[in-house]
Structure 1
Amino acid sequence: MDPVADIGADIAGSYRAFARHCAAGGSPAYARICEELAQDEEVLGLVASLPEGAKRQPNLLLGAVRFLGGPVQTWQAWREWLVGHWGEVRSVVLERRTQTNEVRRCATLLPVLASIPGPLALLEVGASAGLCLYPDRYRYSFDGGAEVGPAQSPVLLECATSGGVPVPDRVPQVVWRAGIDVNPLDAGDEGDVRWLESLVWPGEAEAVRRERLRGAASVVAADPPLLVEGDLVERLGEVAAWAPEGATLVVFHSAVLAYLPRERREAFERAVGRVRGRWVSNEGWRVFPGWENAEPVVDTDFTLAVDGRVVAYTGGHGQSVAWV
């Protein structure tokens, strides 16, 4: 076996898989680019020159190109720009991380959070800029119904439901919020917010997602959360201990653990089991495939679980929630 060829095949496979994800997620431009990239030996070689693991992620490379102003209209234009600006792209990839802060996921988390006796102390691992730490500061509309949440909020999160979702009539009371991230971002920093915008996929929903992100960043920048730099396994117990007495601690994460190797996911599961409070997981089903009912009908949906028990399947960008 040729190890170089094996690396190229692995990278090609990951980009083909991401192409399918983009096609299902409403980004045909990214789907085309990733499909073509998987067949281009020169570009595969460039990706293979990056450090193994997270730095070869499709979303990171695509985001770096957009951050630097590269095109996405066609594969040929994208390829020529990438090859011509590879040094700059490589620098951004090495400096940054995939830290998509899709605030709309709060809509799929809300039915769970509102059902937990409060007040709540929220601890998000993989928090990025902490936009999902403010479920009580956004407005919601489920299935086009009446809005829930503070009327003055600049952010409206719309979500479709099915399967008898217990749609709440209020937002939870949150008295403490903190996040852990290996590279916390600042919602008040223009460069950090622009990086988050660069991770938004091109497509019909792009403008709305950018507007939501900017609105949420303004909410967070006005009242910044406690964001702790560090490993989510190693620092979980320490930060969880800071939560105030009298509040229900909720440790949660969304589209985070998929970026960790299996042994670290298992280590996190053990660590969260030692923490007092509740655990809310919103991840691709392959993160914890052994859970009962882990696999959704739609492969690109996330699996929402409370304390290891699957309760719903959710759209990856927070657009839908289907109760189990």
Structure 2
Amino acid sequence: MSNQSKLPIKLTASRRFAFSGLSRIVTAASIGLCLATGATAQSIATDVGASERINIAGQLSTLSQRIIASACNLNSGITVRESQAVLQISAQQFGVISEALLHGNRGMGVLGDETRARTLQVIDELNTAWGPLLEQATATAVAADDTAQIKALADQSDPLLRTANILVSEITGQYADPVALLHADALLIDLSGRQRTLAAQMSKNVCLIASGINVEEAQAELAKSAKLFSDTLSALRNGLESVGVRPPPTERIEEGLQFAVEEWDAVQPLLAQVQNGETIDQAARQRLFFAFLGIESRMNNVTVQYDKNSKLGL
């Protein structure tokens, strides 16, 4: 298959693939993100989707990393059908979320056009950077072992993520209004949402290291992301009063975070091998790819629960 063969960017195309149980769950959770919180927002007349905007803006950061992770694994011939499907879904989701932030999407709980000039500027910058990366990522051929292509994607990763994180910060500052969303709730939504991004970022870096691409940079970033994920998970699970992080406000959130802790603990032995520079085989790479997708999905569910809980006092 030529490197120039492009995958059709259609959500329906992913239905042709036979998924394992885990990947079906992960994919369904990813698709469901766009509809997970809309009904709650629609019931509150004064809310234009403040918490939903923070939530889905954070998902753009996640997608900026997930699409590179899936392209890297596809290029290496790792979990081909699942990598291909995740790549397609990520491409489709980015466009849907970006459009919702610009013009609203009632089904996602985002109401009305964005009017703030600075927010519009950052969305435009993000879309401009996303275009070339998307074109390169969706041109990935199965098991092509094209390190130059994946390196080109990896080199765009950090600038794209920085812009996506700036957008999250802008939207959080803009919409964390006590009338619709308390700052404490906005912080919890932001932090749990960033855990999704860290999971996707670690998945990307594991693949880069195993593929021999930007190894030193990827190892440094992996170590940093792993520590931040672990520290943030502990803060969310137990609370951290010094920085304003409250303990889990509901039993469902507490259970979700506990599951995330268990899944994170389970991935540590393989992750340690990668961090120590040990070679891992194809089966181990597959397990890590699915594990990080699972952790991302788990943290997405927690973020949605934080979102819903933020509206209970309105």
- Which structure: larger Rg? 1
Per the TM superposition, whether the score is higher than 0.5 is: no
Q: If each structure's helix is expressed as a fraction of its own residues, which one has the higher value? A: 2
Higher RCO, 1 vs 2 (CA within 8 Å, ≥6 residues apart): 2
Q: If each structure's strand is expressed as a fraction of its own residues, which one has the higher value? A: 1
Which bracket does the TM-score occupy, shorter chain normalised? under 0.3
TM-score (norm 2): 0.27
